[in-house]
């Protein structure tokens, strides 16, 4: 439930930010703060908005518009790092992280799961019991090629691919917690990747 709540609040934050007024920015900050309290895995998602031209004419203008959300995300990451949140009781060994070869295996497995419709409701399943197949690599190759080929026509494919990657980045280092429900937030990028 935390993943879905965090996703909903992150989407509200992104929509509120498009208003462009102070009330919209305040609503966006509050929504993102709530999202991070529900599930910290959405912390990087607002960065994908940098790719959208309606957010501003230049990268600098987009960064300025996104600044409130980026500050909230950076503050939350600083809190997690400075308090050593992994050492407290509710985290523990279940959320052990490591930066090794398993990150590639996990990334390919998530990509494979995102297109595998044979078991659409296996939220309790763990990636540890599944070895990644070449399908995961093929999925990423197709997504990257699609974003590259449509980059002149639309930024939506690149936005969707970036949303996907930013949604997965926080969970890839997890050693023992690779579950299908971590795909909820990143998968919102799928419709944008196929946009014309």
Q: Are 97 and 174 in contact (CB under 8 A)?
A: yes
* Dist CA 156 CA 14 (whole Å): 15
Cα 77 to Cα 63, 69, 120, 130: the distances in Å are 18, 12, 32, 31
Supply the DSSP symbol for 51. G
pLDDT tens for each residue of the chain, 196 residues long? 888 899 899 999 988 887 767 888 899 999 999 999 988 889 998 988 888 877 878 888 888 888 899 999 999 888 877 876 665 545 566 667 778 877 888 888 787 777 766 655 555 555 444 555 677 777 777 777 777 776 677 777 788 888 888 888 888 887 766 677 788 788 877 655 444 3
Helix/strand/coil percent split, the chain, to 5: 70, 0, 30
Q: Are 46 and 7 in contact (CB under 8 A)?
A: no
Residue with tokens 């509050």: 30
- Find the angle CA(39)-CA(194)-CA(162) to the nearest 5 degrees: 40
Where does 122-155 have alpha helices with state H? Answer: 134-149
Average pLDDT of the residues of the chain: 77
Question: Given this model, what pLDDT does residue 136 score?
Answer: 72
pLDDT tens track for 44-84: 989 888 888 778 788 888 888 888 999 999 998 888 778 76
Question: Given this model, what pLDDT does residue 35 score?
Answer: 93
CB atoms under 10 Å from CB of 153, counted, come to 10
Question: Given this model, what pLDDT does residue 72 score?
Answer: 93
């Amino acid at each position: 439930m935390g993943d879905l709540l965090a996703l909903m609040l992150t989407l509200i934050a992104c929509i509120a930010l498009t208003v462009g007024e102070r009330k919209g920015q305040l609503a966006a900050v509050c929504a993102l703060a709530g999202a991070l309290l529900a599930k910290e895995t959405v912390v990087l998602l607002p960065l994908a908005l940098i790719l959208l031209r309606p957010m501003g004419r230049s990268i600098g203008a987009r960064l300025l518009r996104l600044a409130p959300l980026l500050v909230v995300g950076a503050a939350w990451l600083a809190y997690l790092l400075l308090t050593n949140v992994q050492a407290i009781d509710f985290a523990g060994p279940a959320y052990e992280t490591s930066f090794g070869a398993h990150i590639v295996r996990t990334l390919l497995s998530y990509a494979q799961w995102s297109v595998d419709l044979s078991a659409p409701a296996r939220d309790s399943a763990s990636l540890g019991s599944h070895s990644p197949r070449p399908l995961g690599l093929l999925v990423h190759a197709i997504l990257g090629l699609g974003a590259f080929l449509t980059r002149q026509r639309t930024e939506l494919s690149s936005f969707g691919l970036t949303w996907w990657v930013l949604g997965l980045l926080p969970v890839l280092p997890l050693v023992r917690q690779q579950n299908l429900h971590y795909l909820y937030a990143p998968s919102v990028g799928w419709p944008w990747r196929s946009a014309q």
